[in-house]
Amino acid sequence: MAISIKSPREIELMRISNHMLCDMHRELEKIIRPGLPTIELDKLAESYLKEHGVVSNFYNYEGFPAQICVSVNDEVVHGIPSKEKVLHEGDIVSIDAGLIYKGYHSDAARTYGVGTISKEKQQLIDETRNSFFEGIKMARAGNRLFDISNAIDAYISKFGYGIVRDLVGHGVGTELHEEPQIPNYKQERRGPKLQAGMTLAIEPMINLGRGDVVWEEDEWTVVSEDGSPSAHYENTILITDGDPEILSLY
């Protein structure tokens, strides 16, 4: 299947969808504290979405039971918010969220420390974020898709972290997951040529230990196999004729 090229009108809708999502992430970040049950993040997302007349694209996606994904410590992605799961001082928490505005999807993730966290967890969060920015230096029309993957891998490998290989970034637009898949690790081939108008969710998922992951009993929550903490950083970007535009940051 071809990678879709968005029209100027579609790009404007993607921009609005993603700006709203960025705003929602900022609201969620404000309530993170030790003692918070993760369901409270989901409730805040639900009220934010309702207030803005939009819907979550994660809710009911293949049956996902919540508005957003909240993943704590060794949980990599797809954690289910719950009133039993409470944030503790020193934890790290990843929030992955998206919404649909007039048919157009946004997708972005952030990892935060809860209270005071260890230096090694902070560095994991920072370098995961930095690897996204290293990757998107290659996100230019005329380059190839896997130039992004290779740049993320080359950057992260310096720290000895484990890159999650079982989950990848993706195209995004009228669907949450569109072509192409975007690995965060080195590829032998350079992949399809990037063109202006492509909208891509670039999302390194990085473990402090090895990159292997397993699925929990709930069939959703992905955890690091070795139990090490994991960080996630994601934005939806637009390929242009110049620098990429990060739609989910403003």
Enclosing H/E stretch for 145 = helix 145-157
3-state secondary structure of 141: coil
User: Is 178 a residue that touches Mg ion (CB under 5 A)?
Assistant: no
Q: How many residues bind Mg ion (CB under 5 A)?
A: 3
Question: Least separation, in Å, of the C-beta of 170 and Mg ion?
Answer: 6
Stretch that binds Mg ion, among 20-28, 38-46, 49-57, 105-113 (CB under 5 A): 105-113
Q: Are 249 and 136 in contact (CB under 8 A)?
A: no
Stretch that binds Mg ion, among 79-87, 111-119, 138-146, 199-207 (CB under 5 A): 199-207
- In angstroms, the CA 73 to CA 118 distance is 12
User: Is 201 a residue that touches Mg ion (CB under 5 A)?
Assistant: yes
User: Is 80 a residue that touches Mg ion (CB under 5 A)?
Assistant: no
Q: Are 114 and 34 in contact (CB under 8 A)?
A: yes
User: Is 10 a residue that touches Mg ion (CB under 5 A)?
Assistant: no
- Between 161 and 233, CB nearer to Mg ion: 233
User: Is 238 a residue that touches Mg ion (CB under 5 A)?
Assistant: no
Beta strands (DSSP E) in the chain are 55-56, 69-72, 75-77, 92-97, 99-101, 104-105, 108-113, 162-163, 169-171, 178-182, 199-202, 205-207, 213-215, 222-224, 230-232, 235-238, 245-246
State which of positions 107-126 bind Mg ion (CB under 5 A): 107
- Between 121 and 232, CB nearer to Mg ion: 232
Question: Least separation, in Å, of the C-beta of 64 and Mg ion?
Answer: 13
- Binding residues (CB under 5 A) for Mg ion: these are 107, 201, 203
